[in-house]
Amino acid sequence: MHKPTGLAPTTPKNPTTSPAEGDTTLRPPAPSPAQETAHRQGGDLRAYSAGQISLDLSVCHNRYGPPRHVLNSIQELLAQRPEDLAPPPYGCEEPYLEAFAEHLGGVSPDDLLPGRGVTEFLTVLARVLSSSVRGGSLLSRLSRLAGRGRSGDVLWRLARGGVGVIAPDYTETMNLFHYADFHSPDVLQQDSAEQRLHRLRQAMARHTGGAVILSNPCNPTGIFLTREDLLHAAAEHRSTLLVVDEEYLGLRGGPELGLAGTDLDNVVVLQSVGKSYGMVGVRAGVLWTCNDQFRQRIASQLIRWPLSLLDAQVATAALHDKVWLAVTRAAIHDDAARLQNALTSVFGARVVKSQLHYRFVHLHDPLPVVEHLTNCGIAVRAFTKGGPRVSGMRVAAPKGPQELALLTDALVTLPSAWADAA
């Protein structure tokens, strides 16, 4: 378990101006694009020069998206109802929540909150749970809720147990919950579903009266814990809040894999449309829980208009296209299987097997490999070791044979010494 003081600070860019004459101050060398991308999120190509990247495999979304139906919906809005853009977006989240409730397997829309992607909810949760840890204003609120039934009781207990994060997790999540205890895998071996579940159970017991944060499927490794195992852990530790980020779940399978709809009031589920439908620029997510008191507490921290009209329009149109996701999911699984073969031929057992649209490669030092791929015009996501972070490289599945050929050609020219020693 780690308790880092800071996670992956952004590397400052080297000044472009030359030092003044007589200036003997030592300046660090300009970071390479590979070093820069180790501190940036996927899809952020600002460290590269113009035209340097011809294939972006650094961001893990559905690369077949967005659905054509979504584009038609936006064109219709702008062409036929531009006046809808004038007033505030009163009620625009209502059809969105109804569509998302159906998407989650028929849960009640009343158990959902709309927000600007999963990130907004994680930001709010980090603030709310932090105030619980510090014993601030939330503690008095929760104390007044004690005795109001099961949901209020769960809220009151949150003031006592602290917060745990099952690492590795999204870099942004670990940054937001910097004050948490990080439950990390053994540094001497690669992570596995069994180990990750074991750490979750330990964390749920350790943070009794608190909360545990988990991404499932895991970013960046792709490890997946079953619904049955997660519900069993939550049922065993009813005094611990389990927050599950299911951002990538739709790219693995249907709603039956997720936790939404359970009657356990210590479960919170986060999802969005961005990754699954290939439109991460659309900031539309949901928080689901059957815990009324906790949902109300989070709702009180959200802005008055949680979604813009355009976000709601695009997201709702995507959710109404019920066939597109299943069809493209099958295509990206085929692409990912070919990616698995290409990576395994070079890196062997260090490639994590998963049923997702990306693969993670455990590398002691990923930067030389990432730099080589950069020189071949391919962007991937590098992760460098530090605290709860895992060291390696995440690669999204190339779309179709032409993109796969570009990656394969780059891997073939990778110096064998780098592949062996990385």
Residue type, 381: R
When computed from its CA atoms, the radius of gyration of the chain, rounded to whole angstroms, is 22
Judge if pTM exceeds 0.75. yes
Residue type, 66: P
pLDDT band at residue 420 using 50, 70 and 90 as cut-offs? low
Q: What does DSSP say about strands 112-115 and 211-215: parallel, antiparallel, or unpaired?
A: unpaired
Strand arrangement, sheet containing 392-396:
358-362, 392-396, 381-383
Q: pLDDT tens across 311-342, in order?
A: 999 999 999 998 999 999 999 999 999 999 99
Lowest mean pLDDT among 28-32, 55-59, 237-241: 28-32
Rounded distance between C-alpha atoms, residue 126 and residue 159, angstroms: 13
Lowest mean pLDDT among 78-82, 163-167, 377-381: 78-82
Structure-token pair, residue 1: 């378990």
Instruction: Annotate 296-311 with b (16+ C-beta within 10 A) or e (fewer).
Output: ebbeeebeeebbbbbb
Rounded distance between C-alpha atoms, residue 165 and residue 351, angstroms: 24
Is it the case that residue 141 has pLDDT exceeding 80?
no
Q: Which residues have C-beta within 8 Å of that of residue 401, sequence separation ≥ 6?
A: none
